[in-house]
Structure 1
């Protein structure tokens, strides 16, 4: 074994060249290399897709909502054909491959809130999420505590996010899956008359698009998440 090999294995004087990886990462590498070997896609295809995913941001979803608030025709298109509406704000669910990806090209539904109805989205199985519109999902969205509890005690879980809804507001939880994704179209807040699309988009945060927050004048970032014990935590977590 050479000195370089010893360092890579952690036996030399230097730091290990490769950090310990998880079983999931080993599986991903094996599947990726096998797919490339079998000609399902090339290493260049994988690089382009990875770069595409990493640049996705929830700003696309924010623009989508702002446009729906201002343009009644676009709002109706968003409800009737969300994929077509996405193209009008520069989001093509067929990218970057030209035919979409198994994890992203799905049926998309826009959930319109009303003064008496509030939607919140979850994926109880894993972490299905409308990435072309919202970017990568936040860590808490993927946790068992959120996934298991939001469907059973939505009002209490939303309160843990700082969202307290009146009792006369119905809360409807929509469960995403591998072929069906959702995005919330929240109610436009008071005090925004005369605002431009850019101004409105600034107050539509990622959390508003998931349904764990409401748009508010002056709030342009996701609220900090203090760590505290969950009410009725999922067993074992």
Structure 2
């Protein structure tokens, strides 16, 4: 029987409140987002920026450059037991050792998925997100429906993303804050023995590091095996 838990209060979260510099409920865009939109419109109007080129740049950073950092962290943890233990004990230091740190990643906690537990990450008040390892947050992560529904029905949300897990898997939802960000360590796919870190990283998806997806199966890594 499944256990779909409310957001747990763990020692890492003690004393933390949402000190976000984003807008909360009741405002579609934060003050900073409104300023960015205004600046973008001005630059496009004056011909300094090609909007199509800007869209390509954002898409690249959101889906390629940013999540690739997190994928390398996950691949290292999958292939190096000592690094995995360090990552679970002190994620901030372990991630920084690979060169990924900075705003949005000052205090990190890594949540390990297992055959019995599946972790999912949300920011219930706005869109706090681990920028150094995942890049730009996707639009759906910032949406009110995701922020509210994932807390009460994580299994249903995962199903809407196209994935179902056995009924005996426990779901745990974790609330990011401006002081503390989470990264999910997904389970290593079967059939990846002998894969290099580079090949393993190709299997890691952005959504699997949020908990709304799973890594690619090993058969999807054809041509990249060591």
Query: TM-score, with normalisation over the residues of structure 1?
Result: 0.66
Q: Whole-Å Cα distance in 1 between the matches of residues 124 and 72 of structure 2? A: 27
Unmatched runs of 5 consecutive residues or more in structure 2? 1-28, 40-57, 222-226
Report 1:146-185 matches (<5 A).
Answer: 146-185=146-185
Distance 1:83 1:194 in 2: 28
User: Does structure 1 retain, via aligned residues, the 8 Å contact 2:87–2:94?
Assistant: yes
Shift of 1:28: 3.2
8 Å CA contact 2:184, 2:208 repeated in 1: yes
Q: Does 1:74 align with 2:75?
A: no
Q: Distance in 1 between matches of 2:148 and 2:160?
A: 15
TM superposition shift of 1:58: 0.7
Tell me the TM-score normalised to structure 2 length: 0.69
CA RMSD of superposed structures (Å): 2.7
Distance 2:208 2:150 in 1: 16
Larger radius of gyration: 1
Deviation at 1:87, TM superposition (A): 2.3
| Runs of 4+ deviating beyond 3 Å | 22-29
- Do 2:105 and 2:132's aligned partners in 1 also have CA atoms closer than 8 Å? no
- SS of 2:66's equivalent in the other structure is coil
Is 1:88 aligned to residue 89 of structure 2?
no
Counterpart among 35, 38, 51 of residue 28 in structure 1 = 35
Q: Which has the higher contact order (CA 8 A, sep 6+)?
A: 2
> The residue matched to 1:58 in structure 2 has which SS?
helix
